[in-house]
Amino acid sequence: MALRVLPRSFYSRPTVEVARDLLGQVLECRGRRGRILEVEAYLGEGDEAAHSARGLTPRTKVLFGPPGHAYVYFIYGMHCCLNVVAEPEGTAGCVLIRSVEGWGDGPGKLTRAMGIGLELNGADLLTGPLRILASAHALKETVTVTPRIGIRRSAELLLRFALEDRGEQ
DNA sequence: GTCACGATTTGT
DNA sequence: CAAATCGTGACG
């Protein structure tokens, strides 16, 4: 039985809700599939760690665009990170995918393993080669909430969500 | 045009 | 703990 693609309405919601609900869903890139295990929310206003904190720029254009699209950026001269655009069009907000089951833990490692590159920046997650499918089963793991990793500004915000084996972290 | 820096990873 | 490595955005 084929998994259903998450509808646009799933993404057109507050970023934190989208982040939390992405856990356990299945990320698919050209046939490669894995459950999303760890994410972080990056908000529009009041979140100094977000790329969109300084407003609309060529780079952040997709963050202000319609929800359900991919935001892929290049960092540290060598890594690509995958984000999912949330919130209605006109409002910034996205969810960084930090770990995918079977493909790697760490935003830079999983994109390399799954073949996700800059060419997918702006791609529609409903119709493109990169999609997110609704998991067929309810979560069996506990959701852990912590501060985000590797940021300086707005470091106190509890915007990291992860499915953890008991005892980790 | 110039420059400092970063939502990371890997090796010492 | 430090290197690798380069696009972006701020400033002039």
Q: Given a cut of 90, is residue A164 above it in pLDDT? A: no
Locate all alpha helices (DSSP H) within chain A, ordered by sequence.
Answer: 8-11, 15-22, 107-114
Q: Determine the protein residue whose CA lies at the shortest distance from the C1' of B6.
A: A76
Reply yes or no on whether the pLDDT at A168 is more than 60. Answer: no
pLDDT tens-place string over residues A82-114: 999 999 999 999 999 999 999 999 999 999 999
- The enclosing H or E element of A72 equals strand A70-75
* Identity of the amino acid at A126: L
Nucleotide of closest approach to A50 (CA, C1'): B7
How confident is the model at residue A165, as a pLDDT?
65
Q: From the C1' of C10, which residue's alpha carbon is nearest? A: A54
The yes-or-no verdict on residue A166 having pLDDT over 60 is no
Which residues put CB within 7 Å of chain C, the nucleic strand?
A 51, 54, 57-60, 74, 76-78
At the second CATH level, the architecture of A8-164 is Roll (3.10)
Any strand B atom closer than 7 Å to A155 CB:
no
Query: pLDDT digits over A21-61, tens only?
Result: 999 999 999 999 999 999 999 998 889 999 999 999 999 99
Which residue is the nearest neighbor of C5, CA to C1'?
A: A77
Burial of A104 (0-12, 13-18, 19+ CB in 10 A): middle
Q: Which two tokens stand for residue A165?
A: 């084996």
What is chain A's mean pLDDT, rounded? 95
